[in-house]
Each structure stands twice: as structure tokens, then as C-alpha cells.
Amino acid sequence: MRFQFAEPFRIKMIENVKHTTKEERQVYLQEAQYNVFRVKAENCYIDCITDSGTSAMSSAQWSALMLGDESYAGAKSFYKMEASVQDVFGMPYVQPVHQGRAADNIMSKIYAKEGKYMIGNMHFDTIRGSAEVLGALPLDYVIDEGMDAASPAMPFKGNLDLNKMRKLIDEKGAENISCVVLTVTCNNNGGQPVSMKNIREVSELSKTYAIPLIIDAARLAENAYFIKTREEGYADVAIKDITREMFSYCETAIMSAKKDGLVNIGGLFVTRNLDVFHKANQLAILNEGFITYGGQAGRDLEALAVGLQEATEFDYLDYRIKQVQYLGDRLKERGVPIIEPTGGHGVYVDGRRFFPHIPQHEFPSQRLVVALYEEAGIRAVELGACAFGSKDKVTGEATWPALETMRIAISRRVYTNRHLDCIVEALAYIYDNRDSYKGMKLVFEGPITSLRHFTAGFELL
């Protein structure tokens, strides 16, 4: 008999969650102008708005917290964290920061250049924002299948399209490309992985033209798991050997440790270029804190040192990825259209196929987010017309993104499969009644369009 293992942990401490009634949730939604970012977390039964900073820490991490050395400079905790990062990344220079976007900011200040292109598979919002503030021109060059939520399953939909990159080099000249950023896994299109072959080839092409390659490594362990299980030649390679090979192809890596660091706060700027490191140190001192703590408490660094090691254990990753796949498989059985295959950190429902009668300018995925909260107290997030919609810089006219999805992000080591079954029941119910839903109208947005989803206000049509 081949024994099927369940979770590679047992539960030692619990946090109670609260049921609310549909009538109560309707009031909360009205008060929040139909934006679930503005709903109180205590009124969410299952919170899938993000996988960021929401992991359950292990007993080993909690006990490590007590060892936190809070010295201003040269704390013991820094050196433990540094050694753990060097072990997983195989890179020498480690600058901690308070969270991922601080690393994005330092990276952009060092690598992004005014009026020059910044190629990525799909840039995360805070990288795009940091780059745009500096006048740089970020471009999303993921393969076409990665831009289509209805495309058939394939193993590495996060890959960067080398032909698009070559074409830009030919047309604009390599001197007009400041850097390439590969996001692993690719958050904006389903947590889809990038293959080792693609990382290697992007690196080779970049090197030919002396363009620096940076990896946005928020979900580095999940990407490594997909390489191990989907890419030829890696089945017998250890996860950490895979992560080290991934980073061997880049000059610098940035990381929101709130994902695969299995911690609630923290970030990293890691590099093999000493000049870049010296610049990063100074930028960190300016905005984060001294080099050896970078905006984190010593105890945070201790928890991160342990968390990175736990996140790169195969048994943990196998549980983690298969739990997300469990949700995807159950939803497919009920006919709910999702991005296939399921990615690393969540299931992305295709808003276009779910509500084909709601046009994009009436925010179909946001309507779905609202319906899911209203019916079941489950909070997901829109990654579609509101989050990725933009305005033409010349005419000011609204433009609509290729991807129109609702992301159900799964926190690490937090929910059981019975929680996921609740999500399936609720979504299947909404899907069966999909014709009864109408769209939404955007009635408030902040001045920065790329950040509008966090504070937007809506009305139901």
C-alpha cells in the first residue's frame, strides 16, 4: 500500500473565527462601499484576501522569537538570518528590510532608469509603482498563454516570452532597457511558476546585452517545488539545490518574506554584486534602519531564519501545493471556471467566464468578490478591471486589462480542507445562480490609478 500522508504538522494553538449572518454582511458591505479591503477582518469567516503575512508560525519559530537579539548593530539574530538566507539563495550579501515593497523600492532606485524599459514576466504592483515614480517604463512580457485566463493548462505559465524581449532589444536598443525582473511564482496571473530553463535563457539573453537580471522571490520555494515536480531533470534534485540554481542566474533578488519566509512581517534585498550591496545598505539606512536590522526587530529576524528553512522542506511544500490544488479540483468539479493549472498560493477564478453577461467596465470579478462575501463571509480579492485597469496617459480614457480574475489566496498552514469545502459550496451556489447578478459601478477612486483597488468605492447596479 502507498500511504497517503495528511498535513505534516499538528495544531497546537487555535484562533476562533466568527460566523455572521447574511443580513449583517450586507450592512458591512454597504458600509465598506462594496470594497472588502474596507471590511473588518473579524467579520470574515474565511479570509483569502492574501497569503501575505498571514502564515501560521511553527513552535520552532515561536520559540526562536525569544532569542531575538535587539542590539542596534551586529545583533546575533542578524547573523542567523543571514546564514539561513545564504543557504537558501546561495548568494553572499543580505540586506533585511521591513517588507517586500521596501526591497522593491531599493531595487528600483538602483536599477530602474528614467525613460528606460524594465522588462518583467508580470511586475507586482509595488515594483511597477516604485519604477513608475522614477519615470521608468515597466513592461509585462509573460508568454501569451499566461495572459489568457481561459488558456489550456501548461506547466510554466509564468515564463517570460523571450521573443518579445528580443524584439524590444532590436527595436529600442539594449541601452534603453535598464533591467529584467522575473517574478517567481508569477502572482498576477495565477501564482504560475517560471521554469529553470526560462530563468536560464532569460539570464543568458540579458547577459549578452549586459542587462542585469533581478528575481522577485516572494514565492521562491513554491516555484522550486513546481520545477521539481514539473520540469524534466529535477525530480531528484533537493528543493534548496533548486533555489540555489534559480538564483545562480541573477545578480540580485528581492523578497517579501511574508510569503515563503513563513513570517508575518519582513523582507530581503539579496545580491552578489558588492557595489549594489553598498548602495542598498545606504538606502536601507535612510529608509529602513541600520544594515543589520533593516526595519525588523531581532525577534523577526529569528523567526525568518527558521521560516525559510521550513518553507524549503519538501514535505511542507507537497502539503501546501496539494492543498491549493485540492481547492482548484473541487471547484472544477462544480464547473467553476479557473486558471489552470492551479498555481502556488491560490486559485484564480476567471471573472469573464464566470459572469459572461457582465462587461469588464462593470467589474465582474469585483462583483464575484462581493457575492462570495455576502453569501458566506469569505473574503477574496479582485485582480481585474479595478486592480489592473488603467487610464490612457494622453486621452485619460479607461483601459481594461487582459486578465480578469478573482484570487482566492490560501494562507500557509492556516485553513483545513473543510474550510476549502465551504469556499467550494459558496462559489458553486453563486455559479449556479450566476444569471441573477448584475455588475457594479466605481464611485470612488484615489489619485493613483494603479493603487485604486485598495480604497475604491462601488455601487451595485
Q: Which three cell numbers stand for residue 272?
A: 552578489
Question: For the packed helices 239-248 and 76-89, what is the interaxial angle rounded to 10 degrees?
Answer: 90
Cα separation, 454 vs 387, whole angstroms: 8
Can you tell me the distance from the alpha carbon of 5 to that of 380, in angstroms, rounded to the nearest whole number?
A: 29
Residue 105 interacts with ligand F0G (CB under 6 A)?
no
Q: Residue 169 or 255: which CB sits closer to ligand F0G?
A: 255
Residue from 55, 61, 178, 187 touching ligand F0G (CB under 6 A): that is 187
* Of 153, 158, 120, nearest in space to 136 by CA: 120
- For residue 188, the minimal CB distance to ligand F0G (Å) is 8
- Which contiguous run of DSSP H or E holds residue 254? strand 252-256
Task: Pick between residue 400 and residue 454 the one whose CB is nearest to ligand F0G.
Answer: 454
Q: Which stretch binds ligand F0G (CB under 6 A): 95-103, 272-280, 313-321, 442-450?
A: 95-103
CA–CA dist 389, 401 (Å, integer) = 6
Q: Which is nearer to ligand F0G, 367 or 453 (CB)?
A: 453
Is the preceding omega at residue 185 within 30 degrees of 0, hence cis? yes
**187 or 362, CB closer to ligand F0G?**
187
The answer to whether residue 191 forms part of the interface with ligand F0G (CB under 6 A) is no
Q: Is 55 in the site for ligand F0G (CB under 6 A)?
A: no
For ligand F0G, which stretch binds (CB under 6 A), given 97-105, 289-297, 333-341, 384-392? 97-105
The pairing of beta strand 457-460 with beta strand 440-444? antiparallel
> Is residue 101 a contact residue for ligand F0G (CB under 6 A)?
yes
- Phi/psi class of residue 206: alpha, beta or left (left: φ > 0; alpha: ψ in -120 to 50)? alpha
Nearer to ligand F0G, 37 or 62 (CB): 37
Angle ∠(136,139,145) on CA atoms, nearest 5: 170
Question: Minimal distance in Å, beta carbon 428 to ligand F0G?
Answer: 25
Q: Which is nearer to ligand F0G, 129 or 351 (CB)?
A: 129
Strand partners, 444: 457
**CB 401 within 8 Å of CB 323:** no
Catalytic residues: 72, 124-125, 216, 218, 259, 453
Among 408, 382, 432, which Cα is nearest to 37's?
382
Which one of 93-101, 146-154, 314-322, 442-450 is the stretch in contact with ligand F0G (CB under 6 A)?
Answer: 93-101
Cβ at position 88, least distance to ligand F0G in Å: 17
100 binds ligand F0G (CB under 6 A): yes
Residue 294 CB, shortest distance to ligand F0G, in Å, is 13
Per-residue interface string for the shown chain with ligand F0G, residues 326-355, x marking contact by CB under 6 A: ------------------------------
| Residues near 253 by beta carbon (within 8 Å), at least 6 away in sequence | 89, 91, 214, 215, 216, 217, 220, 247, 268, 269, 270, 271
Q: Give the binding-site size for ligand F0G (rule: CB under 6 A).
A: 15
DSSP helix/strand/coil, 410: coil
Closest residue by Cα to residue 149 from 429, 407, 421, 375: 407
- The window from 99-107, 155-163, 291-299, 393-401 that contacts ligand F0G (CB under 6 A) reads 99-107
Q: Could you tell me where the DSSP H helices lie in 1-154?
A: 22-31, 59-65, 76-89, 100-111, 125-133
Who contacts 286 (Cβ-Cβ below 8 Å, separation ≥6)?
A: none
Q: Name the closest residue to ligand F0G (Cβ).
A: 100
Bond from prior residue into 152 cis (ω within 30 degrees of 0): no
| Residue in 50, 55, 95, 178 binding ligand F0G, rule: CB under 6 A | 50
Per-position x/- string for 248-267, each x denoting binding to ligand F0G as judged by CB under 6 A, each - no binding: --------x-x--------x
Judged by CB, which is closer to ligand F0G: 111, or 431?
111
Q: How far is the CB of 187 from ligand F0G (least distance, A)?
A: 4
The dihedrals phi and psi of 396, each to the nearest 5 degrees, come to 75, 5
Pairing of strands 177-183, 213-216: parallel
Kindly tell me which residue out of 35, 52, 206, 312 binds ligand F0G, with binding defined by CB under 6 A. 52
* Binding residues among 124-183 for ligand F0G as defined by CB under 6 A: 124, 126, 183
In the complex, the smallest distance separating the C-beta of residue 102 from ligand F0G, rounded to whole angstroms, is 7
Q: Does residue number 216 form part of the binding site for ligand F0G (CB under 6 A)?
A: yes
Q: Between 257 and 305, whose beta carbon lies closer to ligand F0G?
A: 257
Binding residues for ligand F0G, per CB under 6 A? Answer: 50, 52, 99-101, 104, 124, 126, 183, 187, 216, 218, 256, 258, 267
